Amino acid sequence: MSLSRELLSKYANFRLLCLIGGGGFGVKKLLLITSLFLVSFLYLSACKGPSGPPGPPGPAGPAGVGLTEEQASTLEAAGVLATNIPFPALEAVNRGCPACHLLVDPDTGAYTLAFEAFERAKARGAEHPPAFKPTDDVNVTTCLTCHAVGTGPNEGKGNMAPWSLRDIVHPAHMSSQVFKLHYGGNCFTCHNVNGEGDWEVLSEAVDVNEKGVPNPNKLPIPGALEIK
Ligand code: HEC
Ligand code: HEC
Ligand code: HEC
């Protein structure tokens, strides 16, 4: 391709020079250059016969060489993406509130259920009723004394609080990337469906295998509470 284009341009030069020569231009320098040119390529181009068939393709180059800049940067971007898409391997399946909500920081109370109550009320600019301290290891049954489903004038709310617990924990967990991605959390993290088809709340950490299936030697699941 590049060779024949080169020949073509040489041929064009040759034609031009012939024209110039025929027109009677007497510039010596030009003629000198012209003749040098002519000698060097006349038989290559002007006298050349029809070109032969193309030769066989050359051997493949070494891997990696020969990518265009665009291909190389696309490949690099794909590599970076592949190593950054989170697909965490779970160390364990957690079921029951205290499987995650336990005291890990004695100064703040993080992350007991009590701590969550104070923390989230504060985030709204309010103060949680001091029914317990953030460091207290409070069971969800205590939360439900005020955050059970309200009736009568409290319909749609908690029985003694602005929200029922379900209205807090459902969106807060199912919208949390930490809950879903880090813990692999789902409905059965907090629930069991019993023999009557009713949802139970898992108030204690459940002894489970790597799939979350409860230990058969500890059934019915301890702390699985009927929802009223
Ligand atoms: C698998 C771990 C896990 C289990 C089990 C779990 N939680 Fe949580 N919980 C979390 C995480 C993580 C957050 C913080 C979510 C965030 O901020 O992204 C959270 C936040 C909360 C909050 C704060 C809500 C808010 O408005 O931010 C409350 C209350 C709570 N959990 C209650 C419960 C109760 C009650 C149970 C049991 C019925 C429970 N959790 C079980 C992981 C868990
Ligand atoms: C004595 C009744 C009572 C108990 C017990 C109780 N709460 Fe509350 N809770 C309230 C009241 C009242 C509010 C509203 C505070 C405010 O905003 O003024 C509230 C607010 C909250 C909030 C804030 C929600 C938000 O988005 O602002 C969370 C979360 C919460 N409680 C979780 C809990 C948890 C978890 C427990 C158990 C560890 C618990 N509560 C126990 C009465 C209670
Ligand atoms: C963080 C723990 C948690 C997770 C995750 C969770 N739930 Fe719940 N769920 C609760 C709590 C706490 C209650 C209220 C218990 C009560 O009021 O006694 C509840 C109540 C319910 C109820 C009401 C049952 C009844 O008999 O009134 C249903 C239905 C339910 N959850 C379904 C789901 C489904 C479906 C998912 C998954 C998409 C889910 N839950 C995820 C904690 C959780």
Shared domain for 151 and 96, answered yes or no, is: yes
Ligand 2 centroid – CA 169 distance (Å): 11
Q: Which of 90, 132, 173 to mutate to test the pocket of ligand 1 (most atoms within 8 A of CB)?
A: 173
Ligand nearest to the CA of 176: 1
Same domain, 133 and 40: no
Q: Is 174 in the pocket of ligand 3 (CB under 6 A)?
A: yes
**Is 116 near ligand 1, meaning CB less than 6 Å away?**
yes
Q: 113 and 188 share a domain?
A: yes
* Rounded CA separation 140/225 (Å): 10
**For a pocket test of ligand 3, which of 181, 199, 228 has the largest count of ligand atoms closer than 8 A to its C-beta?**
199
Give the closest residue to 204 by CA, choosing from 184, 187, 225, 188.
225
| Ligand nearest the Cα atom of residue 132 | 2
Q: What confidence tier does 67 reach under pLDDT thresholds 50, 70, 90? A: confident
Q: Is 162's C-beta closer than 6 angstroms to any atom of ligand 2? A: yes
222 within a domain of the structure (yes/no): yes
The pLDDT tens digits of the residues spanning 41-54 come to 444 444 455 777 88
* CA dist., res. 203 & res. 189, Å (int): 11
Q: Which domain holds residue 181?
A: 86-226
CA-closest residue to ligand 3 atom 21? 166
Q: Does residue 21 carry a pLDDT above 80?
A: no
Q: Are residues 126 and 208 in the same domain?
A: yes
Domain match, 27 and 140 both:
no
Q: How many domains does the chain have?
A: 2
pLDDT value for 38? 46
Tell me if 97 sits within 8 A of 140, measured CB to CB. yes
Q: Are residues 21 and 110 in the same domain?
A: no
Q: Is there a single domain that holds both residue 92 and residue 201?
A: yes
Do 18 and 101 belong together in one domain? no
pLDDT at 111: 98
Asked whether residue 93 falls in the same domain as residue 32, the answer is: no
Q: Let me know if residue 71 belongs to a domain.
A: no
In a domain, 62, yes or no: no
The band of 8, judged by pLDDT with boundaries at 50, 70 and 90, is very low
pLDDT surpassing 80 at residue 7: no
| 170 assigned to some structural domain | yes
Is 133 in contact with 107 (CB distance < 8 Å)? no
**Ligand 1 lined by 200 (C-beta under 6 Å):** no
With bands split at pLDDT 50, 70 and 90, how would you rate the model's confidence at 60?
A: confident
Q: How many residues does the chain have?
A: 228
- DSSP line for 138-180: --HHHHHHHHSBP-GGGTTSBSSSSS-HHHHHHHHHHT-HIII
What's the rounded Cα separation, in Å, for the pair 201 and 189? Answer: 9
CA of 170 to the centre of ligand 3 (A): 7
Query: Ligand 3 pocket, 161 CB below 6 A?
Result: no
